Structure 1
Amino acid sequence: MLRTLDARHDRFGLSAPFRIARGVKTAADVVTVTVRQGDLTGRGEGVPYPRYGETIADALAQIAAATHAIEAGAGRDDLGALLTAGAARNAVDCALWDLEARLAGTTVAALAGVAAPAPIASAITIAIDTPEAMAAAAARVAHVPLLKVKVDRAGAADQIAAVRAAAPHPRLIVDPNESWTIAELERWHDLLVEHRVDLLEQPLPAGEDAALAGFASRVPLCADESLHTRADLAGLADRYQYVNIKLDKTGGLTEALALADAARARGFGLMVGCMVCSSLGIAPAMLLAGDAAFVDLDGPLWLSADRPGGVIDRDGVLDPPQPGFWGAAA
């Protein structure tokens, strides 16, 4: 049966600037892929990330180069030879999962052999600002189960202290986005313990991970930028206790599921994260969330307007998209 693929650039404005250590976003630029076969359609979304050398134009060019093979019948297992791990492959992979489930009259969860998505506690992110503004933002969500605070090098100590004072009860993830040095990690280690930080995410640049070997951290460390696919796991064992799986890094749900299994087998705890994206990027990631100790899928909550039928936040608990949105017929 004839199959067609369409890829386009979509832009979603943000309701507030999203500031992290390496810059600020005011919009989410995504690649949306639609694969049609007969009367059925599968959709997927990827977020090209400049940190990894990705752009919208490059992602669309990658997909265009693979379109003939995909329209001729190439499936998810063929994508590794057609596309590199990253946002472009993520969008195509998830679109094919969606289409496959609809063609089979089942769900992606059933095809993958995992539990159906369910409401789950997901981090509410406090973006970088003045300590006073971050405290005010934290106070508004002090009742949620889990907060994630973005920090930089210059103001990290004051930022963490301000958020914890305003929100004393939630579990807390601190994310410097590669902006610290090993000396700063050592200097701020007692502060992290004092403020009951539950997880420290990628404090050092990915290329400087070797400095963590043998570091006896009293706060669990999580690899983010240092982990993309299963090939990266071997170099992380003596440096991190957790790994953050993002579909835009793995190149889709197919590799993400395999990575989760491999990480657990090596003794890593799991975090599931996302870029700033729409609910179309979150729906596949929710299939991994049930087995993760930390879930950070609040990307759509930053949008001025999400795709209709997407996820809903209820006081820090994320409800899955409406039936039929992705991964199953309505």
Structure 2
Amino acid sequence: MNGRRMQAKAESWPIKGSFRISRGAKTSADVVVVTISEGNLSGQGECVPYTRYGETTRSVLGQISAVRDFIADGLTRDGLLTVMPPGAARNAVDCALWDLEAKLTGKTAAEIAGLPPSGPLITAYTLSLDTPENMGNAAKEQINRPLLKLKLAGIDDVERVAAVRAAAPKARLIVDANEAWTPAMLEEYGPRMADLGVELIEQPLPASEDGLLSNIDCPVPICADESAHDSSTLDDVARLYDVINIKLDKTGGLTEALLLAEAARDFGLGIMVGCMLGTSLAMAPAMLLGRFARFMDLDGPLLLAEDRENRIRFEGSLMHPPSRALWG
């Protein structure tokens, strides 16, 4: 035993108003935080259990508890890949191990990863699903943000995007259907999205219907989200998509996310770095993937009513690197 101790707890952070996508709405970000300690130093990681992938707060806490003895015995980040499956639970443990290693060695997480220091990054700002009129009004309130991400749902989506484009004519736009479109919608909407200046369509079809993409010629690049998890899914995804959305809660942590980013580049895929709805602690490790990414979507803290102490500093949509007091 090397004396490492691990704790996990559930937390709930209120959202500004509510956040709605095609699968429903939520008013809080429910997260799990892992703390791994050695001596008087501790590392932390945060994850977001996601119902879409069969996760609950209870199941994630159970998965984390099951590896407590492994952690006490000195389990490494590479070893973690073999004893836990991809998903939220492994993400929190993996990121806590990264943070602890940074504190024990005096190096930054970027240095440990062999990456250049993180600099400020522009993140997308997400507009929650609503009526075209309300989404247009929301866009007016965010008119100075350079990149807007629109949550869509199927019917009236062209009108939603048109309303946002009229309200924020200078903003770059990406859209996310969260699996809500049909193939017929994609064939119809794709050219219209291109006309409205949309740069990316994220997960238009259900993941189970991925094969249908091979028969559809879309003028806007298509990004895999629910269809892309870790390196094991890459062969199929690369045949059908142009871009993948890498989220640490899907890959099961930063360790696998870095491997996935390198592999995606080898496949010629573009990369978006995304997030579930969490605090600055969840965004900090994902920022290390910025050098690989065409799009960054790490706006979770901007959508919350409050954030952690030592939070990431935002100037509009410009994210500054996290302080070492927060992570890494």
Q: Same fold (TM over 0.5)?
A: yes
Give the corresponding residue for 1:135.
136
What is the deviation of 1:40?
A: 0.7
Counterpart for residue 259 of structure 2: 258
Task: Please give the residue correspondences for 1:3-42 in structure 2 after superposition, counting only pairs within 5 Å.
Answer: 3-42=4-43
1:145 aligns with 2:130: no
Contact 2:274 2:298 in 1 (8 A): yes
Question: How many Å apart are 1:304 and its aligned residue?
Answer: 1.1
Contact conserved, 1:46 with 1:248, CA < 8 A, in 2? yes
TM, length-normalised to structure 2:
0.98
2:297: which partner in 1? 296
Structure 2 partner of 1:273: 274
User: What corresponds to 2:84 in structure 1?
Assistant: 83
How far 1:213 moved relative to its partner?
Answer: 1.0
Check whether the contact 1:214–1:239 (CA below 8 A) recurs between aligned residues. Answer: no
Deviation of the 1:208 alpha carbon: 0.3
Deviation at 1:311, TM superposition (A): 1.5
Q: CA deviation at 1:130?
A: 1.5
Deviations 1:97-138 (Å, cap 9, x if unpaired)?
000111111111000011222111100101011211111110
Measured after TM superposition, the shift of residue 214 of structure 1 is 4.3
Contact 2:191 2:218 in 1 (8 A): no
What is the aligned residue count?
Answer: 327
Are 2:121 and 1:115 equivalent residues in the alignment?
no
Aligned with 1:238: secondary structure? helix
Q: Assess if the C-alpha contact under 8 Å between 1:120 and 1:290 holds in 2.
A: no
Q: Provide, for residues 34-62 of structure 1, a one-character-per-residue CA deviation record: whole Å limited to 9, x for no partner.
A: 00000110000010100000000000000
Point out the more displaced range, 134-143 or 84-93. Answer: 134-143
Superposed, 1:170-209 pairs within 5 Å as: 170-209=171-210
Once the two structures are superposed, residues 211-250 of structure 1 have per-residue CA deviations (whole angstroms, 9 ceiling, x without a partner) of 0014222101100000000011100122111000000000
Instruction: Measure, in 1, the Cα distance between the counterparts of 2:108 and 2:190.
Output: 45
Q: Please give the alpha-carbon distance, in whole angstroms, between the structure 2 residues aligned to 1:191 and 1:215.
A: 15
Question: Which amino acid in the other structure matches residue 136 of structure 1?
Answer: N
- Counterpart for residue 56 of structure 1: 57
Paired residue secondary structure (2:10): strand
Aligned-pair CA distance for 1:191: 1.1
Q: Which residue of 1 aligns with 2:102?
A: 101
CA distance in 2, matches of 1:116, 1:281: 18
Give the unaligned 5+ runs of structure 1. Answer: none
Task: Read off the aligned partner of 1:309 and give its amino acid letter.
Answer: N
Q: 2:191, 2:220 within 8 Å by CA — same for their partners in 1?
A: no
Q: TM-score, normalised by structure 1?
A: 0.97
The runs of at least 4 aligned residues of structure 1 exceeding 6 Å deviation read: none
- Separation (CA, whole Å) in 2 of partners of 1:279 and 1:152: 28
- Amino acid across the alignment from 1:290: R
Percent of residue pairs identical = 50
Q: Which secondary structure state, in structure 2, belongs to the residue aligned with residue 11 of structure 1?
A: strand
The question of whether the paired residues in 1 share the 8 Å contact of 2:187 and 2:217 is answered with no
Q: CA RMSD in A?
A: 1.0
Deviations 1:133-167 (A, max 9, x none): 11111011122211000011122111111111111
Question: Which residues of structure 2 form unaligned runs of 5+?
Answer: none
